[in-house]
């Protein structure tokens, strides 16, 4: 990974440890040779820069990063991850899309990180099954949101492709349990092989 891209990604707004970012970079470099990479939940693009740089290094498919850019409950005023600098009080909307595009341009990854603005379930339903190289689920963290993202996107991953899920916390003291519960249920399915848990990044591979 280029040093300047890693440095920019690390200072970008968002919630991702360096070890998790480097795991995404490594997995995207491998998986993007097999099919496109999709991220659910762009926010300001911190993780998308790691994924996109992985895609760039392989030179095959890009990362599509999907977000409605209305902010999820946690990021809206009163939520635990509300950032006033990322909020336009006049319009009552986040500034995350402009920040995302700016971060992609800053590191020259325009051909490798493609923002998609919309509901992840709407976007996913329009795509064929079994074609994606990697899906990284990091959207809304309620049980309903996680379940909808898994139901929509898991079938779209091809053989040998990866399903990555963020904020998988085995200890409830560390965070909400919806991602862990969804991850554990998938892991018990025959078609998924457990690969790793790096920080709170859980990774499964489709057999």
Beta carbon of residue 16, minimum distance to Mg ion (angstroms, whole number) = 7
C-beta closer to Mg ion: residue 60 or 81: 81
Beta carbon of residue 117, minimum distance to Mg ion (angstroms, whole number) = 19
Residue 43, H or E segment: none
Beta carbon of residue 193, minimum distance to Mg ion (angstroms, whole number) = 23
Residue 19, H or E segment: helix 18-31
The helix, strand and coil proportions of the chain, stated in percent and rounded to the nearest 5, come to 40, 20, 35
Catalytic residue among 69, 106, 141, 166: 141
C-beta closer to Mg ion: residue 15 or 82: 15
- 141 in catalytic set: yes
Question: Under a CB-based contact definition with an 8 Å cutoff, are residues 17 and 166 in contact?
Answer: no
- Residues of this chain that bind Mg ion (CB under 5 A): 15, 138, 166-167
Q: What stretches of 39-193 show up as alpha helix (H) in DSSP?
A: 46-58, 96-106, 120-125, 143-153, 178-187
Beta carbon of residue 58, minimum distance to Mg ion (angstroms, whole number) = 24
85 secondary structure, DSSP code: G
C-beta closer to Mg ion: residue 8 or 136: 136
Residue sitting closest to Mg ion (CB): 166
Cα 30 from Cα 133, distance rounded (Å): 9
C-beta closer to Mg ion: residue 154 or 165: 165
128 secondary structure, DSSP code: P
Question: What amino acid positions are annotated as catalytic residues?
Answer: 141
């Amino acid at each position: 990974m280029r040093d300047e891209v890693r440095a920019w990604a690390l200072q970008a707004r968002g919630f991702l440890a360096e070890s998790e970012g480097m795991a995404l970079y490594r997995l995207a470099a491998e998986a993007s040779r097999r099919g496109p990479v999709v991220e659910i939940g762009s926010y300001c693009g911190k993780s998308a820069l790691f994924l996109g740089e992985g895609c760039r290094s392989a030179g095959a498919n890009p990362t599509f990063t999907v977000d409605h850019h209305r902010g999820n409950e946690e990021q809206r005023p009163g939520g635990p991850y509300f950032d006033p600098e990322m909020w336009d009080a006049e319009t009552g909307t986040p500034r995350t899309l402009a920040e995302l595009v700016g971060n992609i341009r800053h590191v020259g990854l325009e051909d490798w990180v493609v923002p998609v603005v919309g509901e992840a379930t709407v976007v996913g339903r329009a795509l064929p099954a079994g074609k994606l190289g990697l899906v990284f689920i990091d959207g809304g963290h309620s049980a309903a949101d996680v379940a909808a993202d898994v139901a929509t996107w898991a079938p779209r991953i091809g053989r040998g492709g990866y399903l990555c899920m963020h904020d998988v916390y085995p200890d409830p003291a560390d965070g909400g349990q919806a991602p862990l519960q969804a991850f554990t249920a998938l892991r018990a399915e025959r078609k998924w092989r457990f690969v790793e848990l790096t920080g709170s990044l859980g990774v499964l591979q489709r057999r």
